[in-house]
Amino acid sequence: MNRAETISELMSLVASIKRSLQGRSYPCPDGTSLTSGQLGLLFALKHHGPTSAQELASRLSLTPGAISQLVETLAERGYVTRTPRTDDRRTIDLSLSKNGAGQVDAIERKRHAIIEQSTAELSDAELMLLVTAHQKILQALQNELKSTERKR
């Protein structure tokens, strides 16, 4: 296989892995389940702290309307809290509730176990090589994005 074919195969595999992880619903310990979009929003809140719906829409590449729908469902379940900002009462910060954090932590442990099981046949050296390769690809993509944004 030449380099162009190998790159095409890599892109196809990465897309398939992403679909495999996103194409499932995630059962929560409280008996409900989350879609991949809902889970993505909860992970964003977990890792980036309280933020506005507009900031979330930008971070997740979703429309404000889509964020609004996701937040409404998650707030009704008690996973997300809405708090007006002290410096600008027109802006509402969204954050993960204690209940939401517990649900996300449980799902995160389960996802970790799935990846651990899926990579069980890789040697430690192969796994490290895979991680290193993905880090290099991600860094190159982030650098390209920064370069493109500077040109605008």
> pLDDT tens string for the chain (152 positions)?
799 999 899 999 988 888 777 666 788 889 888 988 899 999 999 999 899 999 999 888 899 999 999 999 999 999 999 999 888 888 899 999 999 999 999 988 988 998 899 999 999 999 999 999 999 998 998 888 888 878 77
Residue 60 structural domain:
24-110
pLDDT value for 50:
92
My answer on whether 32 and 62 are in the same domain is yes
The two counts, helices (H) then strands (E), for the chain are 6, 5
**Domain presence at residue 7:** no
My answer on whether 150 and 75 are in the same domain is no
- Whether the CB-CB separation of 46 and 111 falls below 8 Å is answered with no
My answer on whether 89 and 58 are in the same domain is yes
pLDDT value for 23:
62
DSSP, collapsed to helix, strand or coil, labels residue 82 as strand
My answer on whether 36 and 66 are in the same domain is yes
My answer on whether 56 and 77 are in the same domain is yes
**Domain presence at residue 115:** no
Neighbour tally for 86: CB within 10 Å: 8
pTM of this structure: 0.73
**Domain presence at residue 138:** yes
My answer on whether 93 and 43 are in the same domain is yes
**Domain presence at residue 4:** no
Q: Residue 2 has which token pair?
A: 């030449």
Helix (H) / strand (E) containing 52: strand 51-52
What is the count of structural domains for the chain?
2
pLDDT value for 135:
92
My answer on whether 134 and 103 are in the same domain is no
- Whether the CB-CB separation of 101 and 68 falls below 8 Å is answered with no
- Whether the CB-CB separation of 96 and 80 falls below 8 Å is answered with yes
**Domain presence at residue 69:** yes
My answer on whether 80 and 29 are in the same domain is yes
